[in-house]
Structure 1
C-alpha cells in the first residue's frame, strides 16, 4: 500500500492536481488490517481528473478501476451518506485518501458476493465488530436508494445469509 500511496502523492504534487480517493478492494483491506492480501491494483472512487490519473497509473504498471461514483458500480447502491462516513487515512495539500466505513465496505463486497468478497467482508466485520443489526440497517438503506430491479431480492437474500451465518446481535 505504501508504494501505491507514494506514487499517488508524487503524481498529485507533480501535476499540481487536487485529488480525493476513496479506496475499495485490496488496498482498503490493507488499511483495515489484512496485511497478507497482496495487491497492486487500485479500485477507487476518485474526485479529480480520472483520465489523467488512469493514464499515469497505467504508465507505472498499476492496474486500476476508477470511477467518480462507486455506488453505481452495481445495481445495488451503497448506503446513503457513504462519502461522509468514509475515513481519511492520508491528506496533504494535493491528495486525500479515504476508506469506506466498515459497514459500507461490507455492503460493497456483498453486492458481488464472490467467495473472495465474502472472506473480505467477514474479515472486516470481525475486525470492526460489525453486528447483524448494523449491517441489516445498511442493507435496507442501500436497497431503498437503489433503482428498482429484480436483483435486489438476491442481494437481500445474500446479506441475510451472511448475517445468519457469521454475525450476531
Structure 2
C-alpha cells in the first residue's frame, strides 16, 4: 500500500526490539523462519519514532511459546516485553491485514518482522480507541497522508467480518474520519 517506507530502526526502542527478538530466537531455539507481525505502539514507533511503548503487540505465523520472563532493557532503561495477551481477534482487522503487512529490515535471523500497513494500523485502533490511540492515528494519517475515503473504505470492508454490535465502532470511525479530513484537507465522508 505505502512504499517505500523508511522505518525508525535505529532508535533506542527499535534497538531494544531487535535485542528482544534475538533473545526470543535463542530462547525458543528457532531453527526455521517465522513471521512476526507487529501492531500497536511499537508499529507506530517503527513508522514515526514518535511513540514510546514497553509492550510489543505481535502475532506469529506459527505457534510459539513465549518465555514468560523474556524482558529486555533499552539503553534508556525502559523494559520491553512481548505482550502475551495480545490477540488480533479483539481488534477490528481487515481480512487481508496479514498479507498486506509491511516487512521491516530489523536484522534478525529467524524471525522475519512485519508491521501492519499504515491503513490497517489505523483500522486496528478503532475498536479500542482509547488512551494514545487518537494521537497514534493522527501521526499515521499525517505521515502517510491517508484520506478519510481510504480509511472509510478499508474500515467498512473490515466491519463486514466483525461479529457483534458495531455501533461503538462506527462512532469511533466517525471521529477518525473527522481527524483524517482535518489533517489532509478532505471534504468529509
Question: Does the CA-based 8 Å contact 1:45-1:67 persist in structure 2?
Answer: no
Report the TM-score when normalising by structure 2.
0.74
Query: In 1, distance between residues paired with 2:108 and 2:72?
Result: 24
Structure 1 residue 84 corresponds to structure 2 residue 84: no
Question: Does the CA-based 8 Å contact 2:16-2:72 persist in structure 1?
Answer: no
Query: In 2, distance between residues paired with 1:29 and 1:69?
Result: 17
Question: Does the CA-based 8 Å contact 1:23-1:44 persist in structure 2?
Answer: yes
User: For the aligned residues, what is the CA RMSD?
Assistant: 2.4
For structure 2, the residue ranges without an aligned partner over 5 or more in a row are 1-13, 74-78
Q: What is the CA deviation profile of residues 55-87 of structure 1, one whole-angstrom value per residue up to 9, with x for unaligned ones? A: 3525886433247851x024xx30110111100
Residues 1:92 and 1:107: Cα distance change in structure 2 (over 3 Å): same
5 Å-filtered alignment, 1:90-129, equals 90=105, 93-129=109-145
Report the TM-score when normalising by structure 1.
0.82
Task: Answer 1 or 2: which has greater helix percent.
Answer: 1
In the alignment of these two chains, the number of paired residues is 162
Question: Does the CA-based 8 Å contact 1:4-1:40 persist in structure 2?
Answer: no
Residues 1:59 and 1:50: Cα distance change in structure 2 (over 3 Å): farther
5 Å-filtered alignment, 1:145-160, equals 145-147=161-163, 149-150=164-165, 152-160=166-174
Q: What is the CA deviation profile of residues 104-135 of structure 1, one whole-angstrom value per residue up to 9, with x for unaligned ones? A: 00011111111410110111011011101100
Query: In 2, distance between residues paired with 1:65 and 1:81?
Result: 23
Correspondence for 2:81: 63
For structure 1, the residue ranges without an aligned partner over 5 or more in a row are none
Correspondence for 1:137: 153
Structure 1 residue 46 corresponds to structure 2 residue 63: no
Correspondence for 2:51: 37
Query: In 2, distance between residues paired with 1:63 and 1:3?
Result: 9
Query: In 2, distance between residues paired with 1:166 and 1:134?
Result: 10
Question: Does the CA-based 8 Å contact 1:46-1:67 persist in structure 2?
Answer: no
